Amino acid sequence: MDAGRTGSPSAVPAWFVVVELPVRPRAARTELAAGERLDPAGVVQLDRALDRGLQTAVLTLDRAGYGPDDDWVVDRWIECDTFDADAVLQAVRALEGVVVAVTSAVPGFAGTAAVAARALGLRGPTPGSAALADDRGALHRALADAGLPGVDWAEVAAHDPDLTSPIGYPCVVRPVDGGGAFDAGLVSDDRELRALAARHLARPDYGRGMRPRRLLVVEEHVPGPRFGVDGYVDGSDPVVLAWSEVVTTPPPHLDSLVRTATTRPPVPEAIDWVRAWLAATGHDAGPFHLEFLLGPAGPRLADLGPGLPGGGGHACTDLVSGVDTADLAVGLLLGEPPAVPAPGAAGASTQVLLVAHAVGVVREVAGVREAAGIPGLVAAEVVTDVGRVAGPATCWQERLGQVVTVGDTPEQSWRRAAAALDAIQVDVVAPALPRPAPRPGARSCRDVAASSVVVRRRGPGSRIR
């Protein structure tokens, strides 16, 4: 695919370069997906670059780790040390032709890509900002330096045998790195904190060669609703494309569960908070995904990602704003004028993730095709399969699937998502408990002990039956 999508080779190839790619599980089998194909935003950006006749290159530490799934949007894979800005710059300069953009949709590599882009005189965010650091401590320090209110927080070592929370309990705990997508939880005492730390220590990496720093950030728990903001910065003022209400999974895990996007802010002054947070953290160019909590003491920044939301979540923004956000991200890097929202966009869009509430083996998956007939369904997919082990999600890779719908109102969009979830069945069989050895002379317990238990818990975003 060396000629790009146009099919006619250019005298001077123009390269769109990405440092690593976001990945997510796809439907295990064809019949376990219905509706649109929701690729990660970084993959869609490569597709939009190809539409412009550009050639695409992906720099990666481990080409074999991706497999063949994304070959359709990649002209050239290049192995190099993607943690080293100098190595990235050397690999980019070795490309024949002209490089028109260097970027990354993976939080852990956004800073490296920004350094390379700046060295080449290309457009992109300013290197060295807290927004690009993939470091929650850096975000907290940036807010404090700007005089903005924040939560109480502290860093602790995950391997500390006497691990405790310096700020008290309950508290929210997550790794300092990893883009906030791994091992987050709400803990109420030392025992729960140490259990979360043990789970984190057992995680060898975050993928793509990213090794955890083994530092945890404990943060004040802020009761109140959680909201998301998706938009971009092109110049001095941020532009918001969508606001969303976010629901997380029940404690102890705090993974995203439901997201309903609209173009209406939760309160009129929310745009002022977003503007202040972006300025404080130094995010000055390109798309962003931000989440905040609205607690009793006022708004508090919860997460900030220098890019589009992951896991296919950018589709909700596209549907309500009328803007192809992946195309927008490419255009901003190339200096094109931002797209104007299209008329007739959906009033609301809901993404619900399928998660398990208990550990077990998937026995059956059914109903995905039936969900396709529900009005307003955009996509439904199950990314697990029969025989696989499922359990509560401790990171985005452990979700069982997702549903995306649209509606005229948030309520209609959510009702349609709930109907789609009601059609999908993922049967998880809990593992058998070991049978105690019978006592001499005792009656057999086979009439009162089952070899397996079918988990049939139901709740928002879950079809574990």
Sign of CA dihedral 152, 155, 157, 160: negative
Calpha distance 423→413 (Å, rounded):
16
Q: pLDDT of 121-157, one tens digit each?
A: 999 999 999 999 999 999 999 999 999 999 999 999 9
The pLDDT confidence band at residue 312, using thresholds 50, 70 and 90, is confident
Neighbours of 69 (CB within 10 A): 12
DSSP 8-class letter at 269 = T
Q: pLDDT of 348-383, one tens digit each?
A: 999 999 888 778 899 999 999 999 999 999 999 999
Angle at alpha carbon of residue 356, lines to 408 and 399, rounded to 5°: 65
Q: What order do you get walking across the sheet with 425-430 strand by strand? A: 389-390, 360-366, 425-430, 453-455
Amino acid at 296: P
What are φ and ψ of residue 246, in 5° steps?
-115, 135
Between β-strands 377-382 and 33-35, what pairing exists: parallel, antiparallel or unpaired? antiparallel
Calpha distance 111→104 (Å, rounded):
8
Amino acid at 112: T
Mean pLDDT rounded to a whole number for the chain: 87
DSSP H stretches of helix in 159-219: 190-201
Six-digit token pair at 397?
Answer: 């890779």
Neighbours of 206 (CB within 10 A): 22
Q: What is the percent of the chain where pLDDT is above 90? A: 70
Spatial neighbors of 239 by CB under 8 A, at least 6 apart, are 231, 232, 233, 338
CB-CB contact of 36 with 315 (8 Å): yes
Distances, alpha carbon 377 to alpha carbons 32, 307, 421, in Å: 15, 26, 11
CB-CB contact of 163 with 196 (8 Å): no
Helices 136-145 and 270-281, axial angle in degrees (round to 10): 110
For residue 458, the model assigns a pLDDT of 29
Query: For residue 14, what is the enclosing H or E element?
Result: strand 14-19
Amino acid at 231: G
pTM (2 d.p.): 0.87
The pLDDT confidence band at residue 449, using thresholds 50, 70 and 90, is very low
The pLDDT confidence band at residue 220, using thresholds 50, 70 and 90, is very high
Query: In the predicted model, is pLDDT for residue 461 greater than 60?
Result: no
CB-CB contact of 53 with 10 (8 Å): yes
Calpha distance 380→138 (Å, rounded):
37
Query: In the predicted model, is pLDDT for residue 447 greater than 70?
Result: no
Spatial neighbors of 2 by CB under 8 A, at least 6 apart, are 9, 13, 55, 75, 76
